[in-house]
Structure 1
Amino acid sequence: MNIRVMDWFTGKPEDISAEKEKPVFSAINKTKRSEESLYLSETGLEGDEQADKKSHGGLEKAVCVYPWEHYAYWSRTLEEALPHGGFGENITVQNGVEEDVMIGDIFRWGEAVVEISQPREPCYKIAKRHGIKKLPLYVRETSYSGYYLRVRQAGTVEKHQPLRLETRTTSLSVAGVNRITYHSEDLTEVEEALECASLSEEWKKSLYKKLEKLKNKH
């Protein structure tokens, strides 16, 4: 499996609030990079920053990935032509939709080695960027979330080089994690997802809370 990098982006925190609103700082408005190569450290692409480092970035969320295939759907649904980078991703990719990639998939990308750690959790800043309050809800409903990569080996990456799958150790897809987290009422499914060693600890916290609620219902 090869995932093609179509465009890549980095950003710096800025105030994205409307006039007279409380300031909201975010790096979601990322800038397209024209370079053919960038250095990928354990915390992300060179030049990329995060405003809220508790919710974005860090070792488990070093690179945000969004599939190109979803942009046509959003353009039709929202009646707005969204450019690549519209979801604040670092890389827009082709041939890497959520149904087809698994938590723990390890890819070689140039000199670097990366691993899928969790889905991307849609937050209010996506809604604020596009002026669509329910956009995070729409993302959860469709599972068109994108996902995060952790960096297992830092190094120089090149835009024209695809992410080449090297190791697949689970059958838990990114779309499957979304479905279990937001839509499933099956205790066994939640427990099995929690057993996935490659799923980020932050995401597991949400699943533990869901598990407790389901147990209380039963």
Structure 2
Amino acid sequence: MNALNMNISALFAGKPQPFGPRKSPSSIIKTAHESLNVVSDGATEDEQGNKKLHGGPQMALHQFAQASYIALQNAFPKTAYLMSIGSIGENISAAHMHEDNVFIGDIYQMGEVVVQVSSPRAPCSKINQRYGQKKIDLFILEHGITGWYFRVLQSGVLKVGDSIELTHRNEQPVSVKTLMHMSKPPEGISFSEGELQAALTTEGLAPEWQDKLQRRISALTRG
């Protein structure tokens, strides 16, 4: 099913450390690894600082698009030198994959590991703290360049250079960017109840995002 010859460019993992003005534990700062041991709730080399908001089976691994770093560098030139691949806290990096061509429910074979796209990553203020500049999280949200989470369908070892093969895509797929915009539509963009309902029932969508869309539908019908 792949239109592109894709491979893992880089892998990252980290352990919680004091971060930001409150010194709250966070693993947004990660280091490069040649391989990761992937289990049902993530990589054994990786650990989340706040397990209520990050990690777990629905957010086991995070991938951020390489093209999105270029967009951030162009939008925030003063801190562009800090915006290197891996710096936003992702686990996986690969060329050509981005929020417009990755869809909820997509299943990928990555080496011996099988993963499924479950949801976008909702940006938070830690991204601003990471780069020392305000409103980066708002830019990411507005442009839908959030990256995405995977759930793990088959455990194994991920290695840099492993091939990435798309093995399944839903018949009426919803892109990561479209779903992010459905959650909080940018100015000038709107979605019908039917579009929201179709996204709500798309195969592979994480329960948390099902709840978000249901609230959007309820608000739309009330309004």
TM-score normalised to structure 1 length = 0.92
Give secondary structure in 1 for the equivalent of 2:94.
strand
Shift of 1:31: 1.1
Q: Counterparts in 2 of 1:69-84, with a 5 A limit?
A: 69-79=67-77, 80-81=80-81, 82-84=83-85
Q: Which residue of 2 aligns with 1:45?
A: 43
Shift of 1:155: 0.9
Alignment counterpart, residue 15 of structure 2, candidates 12, 25, 31 = 12
Q: Which residue of 2 aligns with 1:177?
A: 179
Q: Counterparts in 2 of 1:1-218, with a 5 A limit?
A: 1=2, 2-18=5-21, 22-33=22-33, 35=34, 37-79=35-77, 80-81=80-81, 82-170=83-171, 171-183=173-185, 184-217=190-223
Contact 2:63 2:148 in 1 (8 A): yes
Structure 2: gaps of 5 or more residues:
none
Aligned residue pairs, count: 212
Contact 1:4 1:95 in 2 (8 A): no
Q: Pairwise CA RMSD of aligned residues? A: 1.4
Shift of 1:17: 2.1
Cα-to-partner distance string for 1:114-140 (whole Å, 9 max, x where unaligned): 110111111111122112231111111
Shift of 1:23: 2.8
Counterpart CA distance in 2 for 1:77 and 1:169 is 33
Contact 1:185 1:214 in 2 (8 A): no
Counterpart CA distance in 2 for 1:192 and 1:105 is 16
Structure 1: gaps of 5 or more residues:
none
Contact 2:104 2:203 in 1 (8 A): no
Letter in 2 for 1:209: R
- Between the aligned residues of both structures, percent identity stands at 33
Letter in 2 for 1:70: S
Counterpart CA distance in 2 for 1:214 and 1:42 is 36
Counterpart CA distance in 1 for 2:115 and 2:162 is 14
